[in-house]
Each structure stands twice: as structure tokens, then as C-alpha cells.
Structure 1
Amino acid sequence: MKVLGVLEANRVNGWINHLGAVDFSKMKDAARYFKILATAKVPIRIGYAIIEARGDGRVEEVVIAKVDRNFAVKPGSVEVHKCDAIATGWGFTPDLTLAHSLGVTTDIDVIDRSVVVHVDAFQETSQHGVFAAGESTGVGGVDLALIEGRVAGIAIAVQRGLISTMDAKNRSVGLAQERSRIRKFAQALLSVYKIREGWRSWLHPETIICRCEEVTFAQVRNVVHDLGASDVRTAKLLSRCGMGMCQGRVCGRIVADVVGAEIGRSATDDELRGIHNRPIAHPISLATLAKQGQ
């Protein structure tokens, strides 16, 4: 097996502005991964991105290009390579379906405008007795999720009368400080490796925006410019983007960003929150519904 390369669109020198947040244990992990790739002679190309995947029923070619700091393709840098598989990732989006169903308050992250559950120092949400930990309160990795879970667990135990306030205080020593440290690193990571707006310049008319409903970029543009959609919800209703099996879990943020760009404004906070508003959290079969009516 031959690996054509590992590509990273952002520049690592972005860390210069976040040196105080560096987690050196993570840096050691990064150095170890770089060593493994170097030993295997896998090229590491910083400032490059996969802008297109081609093939008939399966991946056959990958198109890569050098991009500027806003992710716009630099002229003359496009390369086409034969390949059998592509592994690509553009960050994570927490699924807040249950959180919205419970009616808890959410915040908009100031860095990437992700929707996250609002919690207090004890990981309790705006609904008394409802706690949240992990990616739903902001993507920060397993270490942060475990610490938030411990904080929430201790607080729940106090509310239920299972442990005393003094016992909780003893169990919580160092947790708040460690949580703050890891959150600071997570925010720095998000800032350095932020998804820049230039990615939309990679889209072709036939690019699939919603895989469930097979809606293309051209169709999304059509509902805005020809059918008059002036907000994300209307664009979804007219194009069916985000209305398939996944209910927008995969394409919701993409649709919001693309529609926003086409109508000339960013998606509003309420529109971003609406992406996660799914009254039915899990697909329900007709047979199950029929039984409920009996």
C-alpha cells in the first residue's frame, strides 16, 4: 500500500499566538506521529487540501491543491492523483438533538459558531437536574469529556444526597483547574485549525451538498436565486437539504453556510440552533407508530 500524502490546509505557525495554551503531552504525541510518517516516507504537505474526489461508484481520483490562509485555491497548484481511498476530516459537530428536546439553553461558540449546551461550573444545564458533559458542551477530546463527566457525577451525587458537600469538595480537588487547562488547549486547537470560508470556492454545480436527498450545490443556489429562498429554513424546505434519514446531522452546518453565502449574510444564531432541532431524535418505523395507536 502506498500513501500519497498527509495534507493539512492550515498552517502550524498559527500556534505562535497560542503558546500559552500548548499541551506539551499532546505535542509529544504529534511528534511521535510525525516520526512514524517520516519513517514510512509519507509526504506531509502543509497548506494543501483535498478539493475534490472523483470516481464512478467508488473513489478513483483525488484532486488536491495548495490553498491560501482563507482556503482559496492558489492558481496553478491543482494536482490530480489516482487513488483507491481517501480519509478526510473537517472537525466535529456535536449532536444536540436530545439537548434541544429537553429545552436546555445553548450557546454559539465564538470561534467557529458551533452550537453547544450551556452549562455552569458543575456541568448543570439551564434545566435543573439535567447535566451535560463531553462534546455537547464544546468539542475538546476524551480527556476533557472525562473530567467534565467526573464534575457532573459529583454534582449529581450531591443533589441526590448520596455524598456530603464536604466530600464533594474533597473529590473535586484540581478538577476545575484541569478542566480549564484542557478547554484552553481545545479552544487554541479550534482557532489554529479553523475551517476558513474559502472552502466554498471548491464547489462545483454538481457537488453533492446533502447526501441523503442527493441535493447538489446547483439546486441549493436555484432555491435562493430562482425560487426566492431568503433564509436557511426556507431553502431546506424547497430543496429538501437536511430532510433525509440523517435529518441534517451531516449536512446541516454545510447547508447553513452555503445558503448564508448565497443570500449575502451569515446564518443567524437561531438558524444555527435550528439545525439541531429534531423533535424526533431517532427514526421511528411505521410499525412502531401503528402499535402506539392501538
Structure 2
Amino acid sequence: MEKKRSAKISIVGAGSVGATAAYALVMGGLASELVIVDVNKEKTLGEVLDLSHGAGFVKPVNIKAGEYKDTKDSDIVIITAGAAQKPGETRIDLVNKNIKILKSIVPEVVKYSPNSILLVVSNPVDILSYVAYELSGFPKERVIGSGTVLDTSRLKYEISKRLKVDARDVQTYIMGEHGDTEFPAWSLTNIQGIEIDEYAKEVGCRYNEAVRTEIHENVKNAAYEVINRKGATFYAIGLAIKRIVEAILGDEKCILPVSTLVEDYYDIDDIYLGVPAIVGRNGVERVLKVSLNDDEIERLQSSANALETVLDASFPKEGVAI
């Protein structure tokens, strides 16, 4: 497909994440048409009016509060709908409620936009991405989860604070589940090609196992910290959604740790996980099997096993019923 910088994008879910994603997409000038669908019609209309009143400050975009039929022929459909994570809840705690919601959404998306790319953001995102893949019948490259794109940005932020460097110069990944079993790929982490321990020594910053553990814990618990203080996370995930959409529409062929179907990946098969992948106009164009050390391989396998256990209990693979 040719590069397409502006497109029809639909968002299913007008809650905090969906609305913030819509704002980020409008600010980025990525959509020529933006449709927002939610069961709460009044709130959806309110969000659309609020966004539309900024018409004098952004590129032209037709923003509409609609039904599923209005999403017809979308290039990308973003799913943010679902029960929100509450204080004390893990993402996995949401699984049964949100699988039920997803079962009502995906058939409608497929009906009206059979050639779209599905971007799943609702939690638990890895489980729901797999469910969306199964329910949609779409090829795996066209069903993408937001994965650990946000977690990786959180990791870059934590490293940048300690090493006093621009977060954009930090090259690293959080891999695995977008959740409690995620882990930083320290063996791949560098500052613009300079090994992180070497860079830390050069600039006189402390960097050791204790620092790595603290950083990992901060990243893993970041969402809980925000939810406990303000009830929900939405600004950073809105920006992460914008980044993924930008990569797709611009056919960037950039590397992002999205949640995608993993097959024959360090003995992991048939599960959605956050791993580095090349993202372009066709969605996930290639999954990259990056070189991990033994500890990281074990962590990735443990993450996959944890998700597999939840998936088997909540959505048995042998029988898919809508």
C-alpha cells in the first residue's frame, strides 16, 4: 500500500483513554475523518463537540459521534472500550468483563471495516488482542495490541531521570505482558549506541543492580501509582496510540514493542506478547527475534506462561463462539 498520512480512523470507547487518543490524533493531524462510538451517547457527543470546537487550530478533520455503521471503511479501528482498572485491581482482573465487551464489538468492526487494522488498547491488552484476532478472522498482522509501547516510554523516562539524558536517546524495550510479568531488556539497553553502564560511568551517574531493580519496579507499578492518585491513566497511552497510528499511516517501518502474535519465539507459540516488531502500512510487518540473555529469555517465557494460563481459563482456544 502507498503511504497515507491522513485517513479514516474510528475509536470504540469514549472514556478517558478513547477521548485522549482522539485529541492526540487530532493534534497530530493524522485523521481526515474521526468517528467515535460508545454506549454513552451523550458523553460521546460532548467529546466530539469539544474536539470540533478546536477546528481553527488543527488540520481539517471531520469528527463524528456515530454508530458502528458510521465506522464503515475505516483504515484503523482503535478499541479502548471496556471496564476500567480500579485501585487495587490488576489488568488481569478485568479479563472476563472485557472479553464479553470485546465479543460485542469485534463482529461489528469486521462487518463494516473488513480491511481495517485493529488496534486493541483495552486491558488486559495481550489477552484481548488474542481474542480480537480469533474473533475477527483477520490476519495476525492486522490485529495489533498497544503492547509495551507505553511501558517502554516509562522505562526511557526512568532511565533518563537517573542518567540525566534525553529520554529519546535511550534505546531499550520493556518486553512481555503489559502487566505485572513485564521486564526490561537490559542487555539491549543503550544510550544512542553507547552501552548503558559505560555511559553512566562516563557521566558519573550511579548504575547497578539496585538501580535496575528500582527502575523495573517503578515501571511495573507506574499505572497503579497514577490510578491511585487520579483514578485513571490516559495522557501517556493517548500519545502511545498516536505513535502507533503514525507508524502505520506513514508506512514508517519503525520498530515498536507492540503486542503481536508470537510464533516459534524462544519456544513460545500462539500468544500475543509485547515484543519488538516492524510496524508499517500493513500493520505488523515482521516480528523481530532480538537477542536476549538467559535471564531475559526465562522472564519472557514466564510472562507468556502467565498469559497462557489466563487465556486458557477465560477463552479456550479450541472453541471460539461469538
TM-score w.r.t. the length of structure 2 is 0.26
Greater Rg by CA = 1
**Higher helix residue share:** 2
Higher RCO, Cα 8 Å, sep 6+: 2
- Greater strand proportion: 2
Q: TM-score, normalised by structure 1?
A: 0.28
